[in-house]
Amino acid sequence: MTLRITWLAHGATAAVRRAAFPLDEPLEDKARHLAAGLKDSIGRFDLVLTAPERRARETAAALGLGAAIDMALRDCDHGVWAGRMLGELQAEVPAALAAWLADPEATPHGGESIAALIHRIGRWMEDPARGERRILTVAHPSVLRAAAVHALGAPPSAFQRIDSAPLARLVLSRQAKIWRLQSLTS
C-alpha cells in the first residue's frame, strides 16, 4: 500500500503581499474566495490536518474541510524577524540576512533554522502512524518546501531553490520507504 500526502499551502496574506516574514494573520478576502474555489478539485482524503496558524485554519475552513490541528505542521519560527519585510532586513542587517539565505543552519533571527524545519517535517513524514492512507495537510509554503527537500533526499541548501506560492499543491507518495514527488502546482 501507499501513503499519499497532499500538501496545500495556505492562501495569501498581507505578509505574502509585502514580502515579509509572517505573523499569525488572517487570509486576504480574495485568498478565501480562491481557496473556496478549490473545493471541487481538492479530492478525497482519509485524514485532513492543518497547521495551527490562523491563515492555515482559515484556508481549510474556506475549503469546507473539518481539519484537525497538528502542531508539527506549524510554520518556521522566524524569531525577531516575524512581521518584518525582506527589504527592511536587507537594509538593516544585510550580513545576517545573507547568512540565513546561504546557510540552512543559520538562525540570526533567534528562531528555527531551515535545517531544523526540514528535520521536523521529515520526522513527521516518516512517522509510522501516518500509515497507508491519503492525507491532506493545509500548511505553509515553507513547510511544502521542507517536505519536498526531505522527500527528494536533497541537501538542506535546496530549500532556497524551491518556490511555493499561496495555494500551491505538492503531492508526495511513499511506497516501500521510498518517496516520490507526484506533482507540484502553483
The answer to whether residue 173 scores a pLDDT higher than 90 is yes
Q: How many domains does the chain have?
A: 1
Three-state secondary-structure class, residue 178: strand
- Has residue 81 got a pLDDT over 80? yes
Q: Which domain holds residue 14?
A: 3-185
The confidence score (pLDDT) of residue 16 equals: 86
Instruction: Please provide the average confidence, as pLDDT, over all residues in the chain.
Output: 95
Question: What CA–CA distance (Å, rounded) separates 104 from 107?
Answer: 8
Q: Is the pLDDT of residue 83 over 80?
A: yes
Q: What is the mean pLDDT of residues 115-119?
A: 98
CATH number of the domain that residue 28 is part of: 3.40.50.1240
9-55 pLDDT, tens digit each: 999 999 888 899 999 999 999 999 999 999 888 889 999 999 999 99
Reduce the secondary structure of 68-130 to three states and give it as a string.
Answer: EECHHHCCCCCHHHCCCEHHHHHHHCHHHHHHHHHCCCCCCCCCCCHHHHHHHHHHHHHCHHH
Per-residue model confidence (pLDDT) at position 117: 98
